[in-house]
Each structure stands twice: as structure tokens, then as C-alpha cells.
């Protein structure tokens, strides 16, 4: 593929397009993430009481935990392959801003792994007997929250790059930081179901998403530079 453009938008688009093409070549890894999400959300109704009210009450938490764990599956390879073949070093030295290149990689990761989870949210909600409007809130919370998980994972993946047991360290870093996202995401559906509305929770997720896109590129780029040095 051609070298990235010198400007930020060109670098972002180049990195996003490149990583999406690479992701399409490894469809098995993407399928594993989707199947994992479906299995986790499908096994819980079989393992707990078949009481419809209980299933509806635990559905948001289960869907969000499944999305969090599924997103962790591909995070360790976000920078690992580029680090191994020297591409990451070329990105650091490229004329395009490194934060833009990192942002493109994170965007591609979310498009390849986060968007399928958002699209599968209605199926997960139907398994637990959620109403259509509650399913819409669940999908909206996942659409706002999964990019934040991608940014948290990208920073952690860069910090653990080249470390022994990097995947385990990555999970230890991401899981505590993802707790607020998990609480607001699942809380949006629970609050909506109780009649209080989901606006507050979704607004907090939206604010977190804005902060992630404002500060995430610089933080992840700094972590990449530290790993490179």
C-alpha cells in the first residue's frame, strides 16, 4: 500500500483503510469475536432461572460483559503484528502525525470488531426477552461505549507491546478502566426499563467518547513511542 499522506486526515484514512484490508484477510479472527459474543449471551439464559423478569433484569449487564470480553480478544494484536514486521517503526518515522495513524488503526479496529457487536445487540436482547425500545437503548449504549473500550485497549496494547505476557497485562489494565463504561452502558438500559429514561447514562457515554477521541490519539501515540524506544 502507498505511504501515508503528510496531513492528519490523510494519515488517519490510510491507517484505517490498511487495517481494514488486513482484517478482511483474517476473517477467522473476526468470526471468533462474534461467535464468542453470541456464545456468552446464549449460555447465560440456559445457566440461570428461566424466569422472564430475571432474564430481562440481567440482560444489559450480560450483554455488556460479553462485549467487553469479546473486544479484548483482538486487542493484543492491534500493534503486535506491525511491531514484529517493522511497520510500526515506519509509522513512528513517517511524515504523517503519529496520533492520526494510531487513530486510524483504532477506528479500523472498532469498525471490524465493535460494529458487529452493536449489530448483534438486538439478537442478544431478544434472547432475554427485552422490549424493542430497550433493545434500541442497548444498541445505542454499545455504539457509544465500544469505541471507548477500543481506545482504552489501544493505549494498554501500546504500553504492553513487546512485554512478556502482554495479553494478560493488557486485560489487567483494561478491565478496571472499563468499569465506568460498563456501569453506564448497562445502567442506560436498566434506567430506561424502570421508567427513569436513559438520557443521563447515554450522555455520560457520549462525553466519554468525545474525551476518548480528543485525548486518546495523543496518549496512544505516546505509548507507541515509548514502546518503540
pTM: 0.89
Tens digits of per-residue pLDDT, 51-98? 778 888 888 888 899 999 888 887 877 887 777 777 788 888 878 888
Tens digits of per-residue pLDDT, 27-44? 787 888 889 998 888 888
Distance CA 60, CA 140 (A): 12
| DSSP states along 156-201 | HHHHTTT-TTHHHHHHHHHHHHTHHHHHHHHHHHHHHHTTS-SHHH
Distance CA 228, CA 22 (A): 22
Q: CB–CB of 185/59 below 8 Å?
A: no
Tell me the domain boundaries of the chain: 8-228
Question: Which residues 6+ apart lie within 8 Å of 43 measured at CB?
Answer: none
Tens digits of per-residue pLDDT, 168-180? 788 888 889 999 9
Cell 472499563 belongs to 178
What is the 8-class DSSP label of residue 51? -
Cell 518503540 belongs to 228
Distance CA 110, CA 20 (A): 10
Amino acid at each position: 500500500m502507498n505511504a501515508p499522506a503528510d496531513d492528519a486526515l490523510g494519515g488517519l484514512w490510510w491507517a484505517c483503510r490498511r487495517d481494514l484490508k488486513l482484517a478482511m484477510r483474517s476473517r477467522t479472527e473476526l468470526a471468533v469475536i462474534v461467535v464468542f459474543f453470541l456464545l456468552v449471551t446464549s449460555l447465560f439464559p440456559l445457566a440461570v432461572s428461566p424466569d422472564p423478569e430475571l432474564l430481562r433484569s440481567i440482560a444489559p449487564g450480560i450483554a455488556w460483559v460479553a462485549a467487553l470480553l469479546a473486544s479484548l480478544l483482538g486487542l493484543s494484536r492491534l500493534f503486535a503484528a506491525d511491531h514484529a514486521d517493522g511497520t510500526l517503526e515506519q509509522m513512528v518515522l513517517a511524515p504523517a502525525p503519529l496520533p492520526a495513524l494510531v487513530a486510524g488503526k483504532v477506528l479500523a479496529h472498532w469498525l471490524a470488531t465493535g460494529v458487529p457487536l452493536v449489530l448483534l445487540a438486538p439478537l442478544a436482547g431478544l434472547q432475554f426477552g427485552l422490549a424493542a425500545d430497550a433493545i434500541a437503548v442497548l444498541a445505542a449504549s454499545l455504539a457509544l461505549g465500544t469505541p471507548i473500550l477500543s481506545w482504552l485497549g489501544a493505549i494498554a496494547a501500546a504500553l504492553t507491546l513487546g512485554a512478556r505476557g502482554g495479553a494478560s497485562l493488557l486485560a489487567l489494565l483494561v478491565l478496571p478502566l472499563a468499569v465506568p463504561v460498563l456501569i453506564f452502558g448497562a445502567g442506560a438500559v436498566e434506567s430506561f426499563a424502570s421508567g427513569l429514561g436513559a438520557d443521563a447514562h447515554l450522555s455520560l457515554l457520549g462525553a466519554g467518547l468525545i474525551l476518548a477521541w480528543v485525548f486518546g490519539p495523543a496518549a496512544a501515540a505516546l505509548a507507541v513511542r515509548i514502546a518503540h524506544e
